[in-house]
A and B are shown apart, each in its own frame.
Chain A
């Protein structure tokens, strides 16, 4: 749906205003219902038994004692979730991740589950399940897992991308390559070459709401699932496939979602809850503990990377090369490949290449985490970019401006860019007062850039005009952070009615066509596109009805400011008709007035950001404090600027946590040592400064208002920006994330020697 240039030229009426969100009152009064807040008559408590071993063969599971415990209504194992995946590897992996079959592949892997009348009984029952494990050697590091003698997780992974296909299975899932030009020739033209290696540790999305669901399977084969999710339709389709149900028999209702950041795009305990309910013939509620969330759900990859950049003294990059090795957890995916695609996306290099190596290890199955994989690669790339700038004696912003991608650039991952924001964000950073502010002792300033693809996808929206002229809107793409407000603004804008006359709800999966999940920063982008489309169809109907009322041709009716106007000299005596006046007569003019939209929201505009960070490094302890932080990002068009700023600030804060503190710590036994918020420390209020934001608006030509997704890019630059700031503050270059006090102190001591 192309940019409506007439709309961009004339000022919007409500788009861009900072209205109060429609779900605000429910959320400040405790009324809003999240995953764990639902109750069903007769509901049971579901609990999952998890492997204490990083890698073990399951020889036998004896559930007989647990089954006999009074109050236990069902016990399930893999035997209750037969493999119906018919050769679909991804679906089989999902099934196996939800419930281990022959092997437990990580500490926390589900092996059995119970449903009982209360928590006390359910906990007792878990203790009565006897699992006979044969403990196997394990591997949790991506580089170790690539070694020829590494413990093997799966006997059916044969590295993809190598010809001929390897005959021996390994942990090496796939090798992929992106780029263009001739990097070897390019490096020969360089005056300066910087070549460095980097590591990043595994982090968790850290949503405050643990996974929770309430499953109810009826003996007639229909089922209801209430769940905290970023994608009720995707959960429905996956659960139905795993349980052998017709999709229409499972109705999924998404609760309010207490944070997801990619971690609630995959099913975990939901198929298990449905299996328990099916067996017990009662509703079953499963709520994970924080320990389970850390041990068993979606962290992002840890990684190991080599970067090489060559440049001439005038600042022209002649060649750039990256090799990225990411672990995917215990099941195969392509997270390193995402890193390879995004690594160089900010720049216009003649010769560029990135190679990705994806690896499985004995850790939880990796899930998407906000611009998944991109922050890791950007840390390595942006750290190296700064070192090249330093080596040739050029200002790091000028160096990036000289090499920035622009409209018409062939990106390092293939496509040619349309109008993009990397250059403008860099120019804005260069001119920002933050860049000129004085620095104190032990303080340094760093900057870095970031990119994310953004996504559109399948979207379905219904707009219904009620008999009193107010409007209901049903969307199927979950609101994770305020999108209901933005969508109400879009409908109000199109219809010409006040914002508070429009009410947006997130519909369940039986009320609307399929919607993809809220990922790829697609929520506001794609739903607003569909909402505009649906509202324009409703407006067309309103015009037709006005024409009928007036008994004139429809092309003599115009829609303006929320009213039908009869145009032309002969209609001078006709007073305009409001939405209310037209809808009041709907019964006599053709029935209910509505607009529907079913689209694939193509053309999500790519997104770029530049961040500036001031860091202070304590030379005694190695602790880094962020003193000032500025996010500059292109939003295309900020429909609700407050929530756009919120996305910028939230992503930056998560990036700061990742850069400085957050880390999965595994013991030698392959067990996670810090599965709680005390030892896995996310930033708290006193750790952070205010986070300044600057919204740039370079319209996306593929959206009627010019909107681009804004949710993810903000987490991409912080790791590099902070590494660069620490380097400028303390004169040490940290190549291992998180840059926690012990690592910084070690670097400071090494420098002194």
Chain B
């Protein structure tokens, strides 16, 4: 039997009905049309489905849609402020930190969560902070540099 859930996504209050065994990722993608979160593995190993739940970085494939009652969710679709990109988004473009781009939403969410906790991370802290996200194209070099540049700019701003 479907569960009715009231939650907040990217600042908007949202209601949906989902099956009790349905993952948050499936709810976002299939019921709410928020396809920015991607399924790379479905087992929490790749981070492509990363979202922020009540300030905490979460693999949306590992939690249930039914658990989101009263929570506050942030997804990639809410990262830019209207037509103004988040500094991380801009730096990813400027540093060519994406090739195919499938992992990019997850990396941006994970990097945002990292910088909120640690605004001035070392290279090692960035590398460990993003170790839950897989990228097969870039070798991570340009991703780390983009995050470093964004962190610097965010501290200065």
By a beta-carbon cutoff of 8 Å, the part of chain A in contact with chain B is 18, 20-21, 23-25, 27-34, 36-37, 119-120, 205-210, 256-261, 287, 289-290, 480-482, 642-643, 645-646, 649-650, 652-654, 676-678, 682-688, 690-691
Contact B93 A649 (CB under 8 A): no
Q: Is the CB of A209 within 8 A of B96?
A: no
User: Interface size for chain B: under 10, 10 to 19, 20 to 34, or 35 or more residues?
Assistant: 35 or more
Report Cα–Cα, A690/B145, bound state, in Å: 9
What is the predominant secondary structure among interface residues of chain B facing chain A? loop
The smallest beta-carbon distance between A278 and chain B, in angstroms, is: 24
Given that A20-B93, A30-B77, A686-B131 are known contacts, is A258 also in contact with B101, CB under 8 Å in the complex?
yes
Closest Cβ–Cβ distance, residue A256 to chain B (whole Å): 7
Residue of chain B at shortest CB distance from A37: B35
- Could you list 19 further interchain pairs (A-B, Cβ under 8 angstroms) beyond the known A30-B76, A209-B100, A259-B99? A18-B96, A21-B96, A27-B101, A30-B34, A30-B79, A33-B35, A208-B102, A209-B38, A258-B38, A259-B100, A290-B41, A290-B42, A480-B100, A482-B96, A643-B96, A676-B41, A683-B140, A686-B127, A688-B141
Q: In the docked arrangement, what's the CA distance between A33 and B93, Å? A: 17
Does B94 sit within 8 A of A, measured CB to CB? yes
Known: A480-B100, A650-B137, A686-B131. Is A28-B40 also a contact (CB below 8 A)? no
Closest beta carbon of chain A to B41's beta carbon, Å:
4
Q: Can you spell out 30 A-B residue pairs with CB atoms less than 8 angstroms apart? A: A21-B93, A21-B96, A24-B98, A25-B93, A28-B85, A30-B36, A31-B36, A36-B35, A208-B100, A208-B102, A210-B39, A256-B102, A257-B100, A259-B137, A290-B42, A480-B100, A649-B142, A650-B139, A652-B139, A653-B140, A676-B41, A676-B43, A676-B45, A677-B43, A682-B134, A684-B130, A685-B130, A685-B133, A686-B131, A690-B144
Q: Is B58 part of the contact surface with A, judged by Cβ < 8 Å? A: no
Given known A-B contacts A28-B108, A210-B40, A690-B144, A480 and B134 have beta carbons under 8 A apart: no
A686 touches B102 (CB 8 A): no
Most buried by A among B35, B80, B141: B141
CA separation between A687 and B38, bound complex, in Å? 23
> Quick one: which of B28-83 are within 8 Å of A by CB?
29, 34-43, 45-46, 48, 75-77, 79-80
Interface 0/1 of B84-105, CB less than 8 Å to A: 0100010011111011111111
Whether the pair B41, A207 counts as a contact (CB closer than 8 A) is no
Closest CB-CB distance, B67 to chain A, in whole Å? 19
Contact of B40 among A209, A643, A649, A685 (CB under 8 A): A209
| Distance A679 CA – B125 CA, assembled complex (angstroms) | 24
Cα–Cα, bound, A638→B13 (Å): 48
Contact A258 B102 (CB under 8 A): yes
Given contacts A23-B101, A209-B102, A480-B99, are A30 and B75 in contact (CB under 8 A)? yes
B100-114, CB < 8 A from A? 100-105, 108
A24, A28, A33 — most chain B CB neighbours (10 Å): A28
Report the minimum CB–CB distance from B93 to chain A (whole Å).
4
A209 CA to B39 CA in the complex, in Å?
A: 7
Q: Is B27 an interface residue (CB 8 A)?
A: no
**A36 vs B143: C-alpha distance in the bound complex, in angstroms?**
24
Q: Quick one: closest A residue to B147, CB to CB? A: A685
Which of chain A's residues has its CB closest to B140's CB?
Answer: A685
Query: A81 → chain B, closest Cβ, in Å?
Result: 27
Evaluate contact between B36 and A650: CB separation under 8 angstroms.
no
Task: Say whether, besides A18-B96, A481-B100, A30 and B37 are in contact (CB < 8 Å).
Answer: yes
**Any A CB within 8 A of the CB of B118:** no
Which residue on A lies nearest to B92, using beta carbons? A28
Which of B48, B76, B135, B145 is most buried by chain A, counting CB atoms within 10 A of its CB? B135
Which B residues touch A18, using CB under 8 A? 96
A258 to B135, CA, bound (A): 10
Bound: A209/B40 CA distance, A = 5
**Nearest-CB distance from B33 to chain A (Å)?**
8
> Which 4 pairs between the two chains have the least Cβ-Cβ distance?
A30-B36, A258-B102, A653-B139, A27-B101
Q: Which residues of A contact B40 (CB under 8 A)?
A: 208-210, 258, 290, 677
User: Is the beta-carbon distance between B99 and A677 smaller than 8 angstroms?
Assistant: no
Alpha-carbon distance between A27 and B29 when the two chains are bound, in angstroms: 16
Shortest Cβ distance from B106 into A: residue: A208
Residues of A within 8 Å of B102, CB to CB, are 34, 207-209, 256, 258-259
Contacts of A653 in B (CB 8 A): 138-140
Contacts of B48 in A (CB 8 A): 208
Contacts of B41 in A (CB 8 A): 290, 676-677
- Asked if A481 and B133 make an inter-chain contact with CB atoms under 8 angstroms apart, the answer reads no
Q: Considering the chains assembled together, what is the distance between the CA atoms of A364 and B4 in angstroms?
A: 43
Closest to A228 in B: B102
A30-B46 in contact (CB<8A) = no
Min Cβ gap A632→B in Å is: 15
Residues in A neighbouring B140, C-beta threshold 8 A? 653, 683-685, 688
- In the assembly, what is the distance between CA of A242 and CA of B106, in Å? 37
- On whether A208 and B98 interact (CB within 8 A), knowing A29-B89, A686-B128, the answer reads no
Chain A residues lying within 8 Å of B142, measured Cβ to Cβ, are 642, 645-646, 649
Name the residue in A258, A480, A481 with the highest tally of chain B Cβ atoms < 10 Å from its Cβ: A258
**Which residues in A have their C-beta under 8 angstroms from that of B134?**
208, 677, 682, 684
Which chain A residue shows the least CB distance to B19? Answer: A120
User: Which one, B38, B80, B141, contacts A691 given CB within 8 A?
Assistant: B141
B-side contacts of A205, CB under 8 Å: 136
Q: Chain A residues near B93: list those with CB within 8 A.
A: 20-21, 24-25, 28
| Interface flag for B151 (CB, 8 Å) | no
Q: From residue B38, how far is it (CB to closest CB) to chain A in Å?
A: 7
> Nearest-CB distance from A310 to chain B (Å)?
37
Of B34, B108, B136, the residue contacting A208 (CB under 8 A) is B136
Query: Chain B contacts of A683 at CB under 8 A?
Result: 139-140
Q: Are the C-beta atoms of A646 and B108 separated by less than 8 Å?
A: no
Which of these, A33, A289, A481, contacts B137 with CB under 8 Å? A481
Could you say which residues of chain B place their CB within 8 Å of the CB of A208? 38, 40, 46, 48, 100, 102-103, 134-136
A646 touches B39 (CB 8 A): no
The answer to whether A27 touches B98, judged by C-beta atoms less than 8 angstroms apart, is: yes
Cβ distance A260 to chain B, nearest Cβ, rounded Å: 8
Flag B117-134 by CB within 8 Å of A: 1 or 0 each: 000000110111011111
A-chain residues with CB within 8 Å of residue B42 when the two chains form the complex: 289-290
- Say whether B104 contacts A27, CB under 8 Å: yes
CA distance in complex: A208, B142 (Å): 18
**Contact (Cβ within 8 A) B100 A258:** yes
A97 and B40 CA atoms in complex are apart in Å by 23
A37 vs B143: C-alpha distance in the bound complex, in angstroms? 24
Residue of chain B at shortest CB distance from A480:
B100
Q: A208-B38, A208-B135, A259-B137 are in contact. Are A28 and B104 (CB under 8 A)?
A: yes
The docked-state distance in angstroms from the alpha carbon of A652 to that of B136 is 11
C-alpha spacing A345/B16, complex, angstroms: 60
- Nearest opposing residue in chain B for A207, CB measure: B136
CA distance A665 to B40 in the complex (A): 21
The docked-state distance in angstroms from the alpha carbon of A652 to that of B141 is 11
Task: Give every chain B residue within 8 A of A32 (Cβ-Cβ).
Answer: 101
Alpha-carbon gap, A33 to B35, bound state (A): 8
CB of A25 to closest CB in B, whole Å: 7
Q: Which residue of A lies closest to B86 (CB)?
A: A28
Q: Are B131 and A29 in contact (CB under 8 A)?
A: no
Most-contacted residue by chain B among A27, A256, A261 (CB, 10 A): A27
Cα distance A636–B57 in the bound complex, in angstroms: 43
